[in-house]
């Protein structure tokens, strides 16, 4: 059997009806393109989230109010008001905690911020000077929150570059200008350097104010949203978690660690949770896109069945002239594989192009998974074989006499 000749014959047959051929491969094109684009989007999201978490600081531990169950869902044990500034001071001053170098008590809340005719909804974080060191925040112009600002409950704010753009316009000189939060007027004393990000993970879309100002003036609360800790090294992260945990248990008069009204998460814990979530998101997107591959495969089978019916007399003539059953089967399988493989190539190109466009329209990195592309070609070839087998078998089983009589 001359496979090269068989390939060219199959290709010539498919080009006789270009519209049908195009419609046959369209489902495969959409399916493959969707899988590659959505897997790329999922991986880009995962990398973006990981980068944002890593940019928060090295050797970072975060203490948050409320317990965390085994499945990672934060419960209501003790409510979310169980951490206080005294807890943060105790961690820093206690001789029991020897593995923590810096402590950053924080109050965080999303709220509406206005200035002149502009407004934005952003994250307002009450901080101390150690926040900038723990979270690796650098100032592009002006100054960060000082201890004097905290002691005096100063009405000052350090804002991110995204806030500058939203409130004052891109590239505006904002030092000394004012903004209003919850009816209070604050003076802008600094602008942070860009860290990048998007959505709720955007480190540029934050306003920093003195911790005491946030608690007493803006939000009227005595509790903390979280306490960030910087361990002395990566090697003592586990020890730091244990030391801080036992200290807070004692301060909160709790003897059973399972009843803790707080949770301590390392940067790696947060990263693992985020990676798990985005990984499930990627798998879900790929699964949804894969359904279109199944639909495309069924479309290929339907087209091939119609082709077999239309070429019944041709099949009968070829078998009458001595064509073997294997030859007929191989020809129709070849046509099916050509359809799906061509659709796979076009779909891969469109998927890569779509991923590039998405990366340009968003802040996500441009990531293409070679595994996804290779899998797409393997799947498209497999679809050609699986869904082309039945029409090929049906064609090869036709009896020459009956096929020649077919009208």
Q: Where are the domains of the chain?
A: 3-51+275-405, 83-260
What tokens does 166 get?
């939203």
Q: How confident is the model at residue 70 (pLDDT cuts 50, 70, 90)?
A: very low
Q: How confident is the model at residue 71 (pLDDT cuts 50, 70, 90)?
A: very low
Q: How confident is the model at residue 2 (pLDDT cuts 50, 70, 90)?
A: low
Distance CA 370, CA 106 (A): 42
Q: What is the CB neighbour count within 10 angstroms for residue 406?
A: 13
What tokens does 77 get?
């044990």
Average pLDDT over residues 33-57: 74
Average pLDDT over residues 323-350: 79
Residue from 319, 126, 287, 314 nearest 206 by CA: 126
Overall size of the chain counted in residues = 407
Q: For residues 34 and 124, which has the higher predicted lDDT (pLDDT)?
A: 124
Distance CA 160, CA 196 (A): 10
Q: For residues 189 and 38, which has the higher predicted lDDT (pLDDT)?
A: 189
**Most distant CA atoms of the chain, gap in Å:** 102
Q: Check whether 331 has a pLDDT greater than 80.
A: no
Distant-in-sequence, close-in-space partners of 213: CB < 8 Å, separation ≥ 6: 126, 149, 150, 153, 154, 155, 156, 186
Q: Check whether 246 has a pLDDT greater than 80.
A: yes
How, if at all, do strands 60-65 and 262-266 pair? Answer: antiparallel
Distance CA 172, CA 161 (A): 10
Percent of the chain with pLDDT over 70: 78
Model pLDDT, residue 77: 38
Distance CA 344, CA 248 (A): 58
What tokens does 128 get?
């101390």
Task: Lowest mean pLDDT of 203-217, 243-257, 314-328, name the range.
Answer: 314-328
Distance CA 120, CA 200 (A): 13
Q: How confident is the model at residue 76 (pLDDT cuts 50, 70, 90)?
A: very low
What letter would DSSP give residue 185? E
Average pLDDT, the chain: 80
What stretches of 95-173 show up as alpha helix (H) in DSSP?
A: 130-134, 147-151, 161-168
What tokens does 376 get?
């797409």
- What pTM was computed for the model? 0.62
Task: Lowest mean pLDDT of 25-29, 85-89, 238-242, name the range.
Answer: 25-29
- Of 70-74, 75-79, 305-309, give the range with the top mean pLDDT: 305-309
Q: What is the CB neighbour count within 10 angstroms for residue 91?
A: 22
Percent of the chain with pLDDT over 90: 30
Q: Check whether 309 has a pLDDT greater than 70.
A: no
Model pLDDT, residue 72: 46
Beta bridge partners of 105: 227
């Amino acid at each position: 059997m001359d496979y090269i000749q068989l390939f060219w014959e199959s290709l010539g047959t498919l080009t006789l009806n270009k519209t049908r051929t195009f419609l046959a491969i369209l489902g495969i094109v959409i399916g493959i393109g969707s899988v590659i684009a959505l897997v790329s989007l999922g991986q880009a999201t995962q990398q973006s989230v990981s980068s944002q978490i890593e940019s928060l600081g090295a050797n970072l531990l975060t203490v948050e109010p409320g317990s965390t169950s085994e499945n990672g869902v934060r419960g209501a044990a003790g409510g979310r008001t169980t951490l206080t500034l005294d807890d943060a001071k105790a961690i820093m001053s206690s001789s029991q905690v020897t593995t923590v170098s810096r402590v950053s008590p924080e109050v965080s809340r999303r709220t509406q911020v206005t200035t002149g005719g502009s407004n934005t909804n952003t994250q307002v974080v009450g901080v101390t000077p150690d926040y900038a060191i723990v979270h690796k925040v650098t100032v592009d112009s002006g100054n960060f929150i000082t201890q004097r600002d905290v002691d005096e409950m100063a009405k000052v704010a350090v804002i991110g570059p995204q806030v500058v753009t939203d409130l004052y316009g891109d590239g505006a000189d904002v030092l000394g200008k004012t903004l209003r939060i919850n009816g209070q007027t604050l003076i802008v004393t600094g602008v942070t350097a860009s860290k990048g990000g998007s959505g709720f993970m955007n480190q540029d879309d934050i306003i920093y104010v003195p911790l005491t100002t946030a608690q007493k003036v803006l939000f009227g609360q005595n509790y903390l949203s979280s306490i960030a800790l910087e361990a002395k090294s990566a090697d003592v992260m586990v020890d730091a978690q244990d030391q801080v945990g036992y200290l807070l248990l004692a301060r909160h008069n709790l003897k059973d660690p399972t009843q803790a009204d707080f949770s301590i998460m390392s940067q790696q814990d947060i990263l693992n949770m985020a990676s798990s979530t985005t990984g499930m998101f990627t798998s879900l997107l790929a699964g949804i896109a894969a359904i279109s591959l199944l639909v495309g495969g069924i479309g290929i089978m339907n087209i091939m069945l119609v082709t077999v019916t239309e070429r019944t007399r041709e099949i009968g003539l070829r078998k009458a002239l001595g064509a073997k059953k294997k030859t007929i089967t191989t020809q129709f399988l070849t046509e099916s594989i050509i359809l799906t493989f061509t659709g796979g190539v076009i779909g891969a190109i469109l998927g890569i192009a779509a991923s590039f466009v998405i990366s340009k329209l968003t802040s996500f990195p441009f990531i293409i998974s070679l595994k996804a592309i290779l899998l797409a070609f393997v799947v498209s070839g497999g679809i050609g074989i699986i869904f082309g087998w039945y029409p090929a078998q049906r064609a090869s089983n036709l009896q020459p006499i009956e096929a020649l009589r077919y009208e």
